Amino acid sequence: MTRKFDSGMWIFIASIFIVMLAYAPTAALEPTEGKGRLFLVSMGTGDRDNMTIRAQKVVLAADVVLSSKHLLETFADLLEGKAVHEIGHALFKKNCPHRLENPGAFEAEERKIRNLVRETVAAGRTVAVLDNGDPTIYGPHIAFLTEFPDLNPKIIPGISSFNAANAALGRAVTGGIVSRSVILTGGIGTTGSFDCRDTLSQLGETQSTMVIFTMRVKLPKVVEELKLNYPGDTPVAIVCQAGYHAKEKVILATLDTVLDMIKDMELPFEHLVYVGDFLK
């Protein structure tokens, strides 16, 4: 007798298959005989459950882990039994402002980490450099890729602050009326320390939706440059601590009102500024 499966049975079988895939070995982790590996791993943004399954697999398989003190403490349970090394901000990044302040300290630490990575990989073992969010967007450890190109380093992608902030806003960021484009920028020209061509006033000529990563930017200068192209009633959103379920906060305003709205408010280091009519 031929047995027929109903829809419930097929759903059950499919769910089992999905679970098996989630816990199956990742192809990227399969060892190459006689050779080690170097990974730059995103641990996500905000709460630790924003880490991907693939990132978890890479970390568990690693022999040596390099990262900031914060991430080493956050994921301490995954790192038991591993050789763990705390590393400073922006190692191997030649144009880092912190490096210019104390070049000697950077050179000494870079020499130590350079030797450690090369010796570990040469011994056929795996090194994982842990980073926040998307390491390719203002990531502090992205220079590991250019420092060790011969080791064929691999990036393990993860949730960025941009992804988490989009979810917090609950809007289609490409759903604007004037523009369906999104520009990601550091707004570096507003810090007064860089001479660059892609200023906010130039980027804003199309009135595209803009997302500004706010490291060291001056919000009054940001608003001043944006208002050269965007109407004063253009919506603005400040997303604070995106990805942290208990601390995440969204502040809605316009270019005309945002400075008055936050004048007595201390914004956290982790915040993004959105401008665009998709917020209407």
Q: Which amino acid is at 211?
A: V
Q: Tokens at residue 225, please? A: 């440059």
Bridge partners (DSSP) of residue 209 are 182
pLDDT of residue 9: 54
Average pLDDT, the chain: 86
CA distance linking residue 216 with residue 35, whole number of Å: 41
Burial of 81 (0-12, 13-18, 19+ CB in 10 A): exposed
Is 0.85 topped by the overall pTM? no
Residue ranges and CATH numbers for the domains of the chain are: 23-159 (3.40.1010.10), 162-279 (3.30.950.10)
Instruction: Count Cβ atoms below 10 Å from residue 17 Cβ, excluding itself.
Output: 10
The residue ranking higher by pLDDT, 57 or 186, is 57
Token pair belonging to 221: 């200068």
Q: Which two tokens stand for residue 129?
A: 């450099």
pLDDT band at 116 (very low <50, low <70, confident <90, very high): very high
pLDDT of 33 > 80? The answer is: no
Contacts with 214 (C-beta within 8 Å, 6 or more apart), sequence order: 187, 267, 271, 272, 273
**DSSP states of the chain:** -PPPP-HHHHHHHHHHHHHHHHHSPPGGGSPBTTB-EEEEEE--SSSGGGS-HHHHHHHHH-SEEEE-HHHHHHTGGGSTTSEEEE--TTTT-TT-HHHHH-HHHHHHHHHHHHHHHHHHHHTT-EEEEEESS-TTTT-TTTTHHHH-GGG--EEE----HHHHHHHHHTS-TT--SS---EEEE--GGGSSS---S--HHHHGGG--EEEEE-TT--HHHHHHHHTTTS-TT-EEEEEESTT-TTT-EEEEEETTTHHHHHTT----SSEEEEESGGG-
Q: Specify whether the CB–CB gap between 233 and 254 falls below 8 A.
A: yes
88-105 tens-digit pLDDT: 877 887 776 666 677 677
Whether 263 shows a pLDDT value over 80: the answer reads: yes
pLDDT at 1: 46
Predicted local confidence at residue 251, as pLDDT: 97
What is the per-residue pLDDT for 30?
46
- On the question of pLDDT at 208 being above 50, the answer is yes
Q: Of 29-38, 106-115, 118-127, 208-217, give the lowest mean pLDDT range.
A: 29-38
Q: 16: which residues sit within 8 A by CB, 6+ positions away?
A: none
pLDDT, one tens digit per residue, over 173-197 is 999 998 899 999 987 666 555 667 7
Q: What is the rounded distance in angstroms from the CA atom of residue 105 to the CA atom of residue 108?
A: 5
pLDDT surpasses 50 at 123: yes
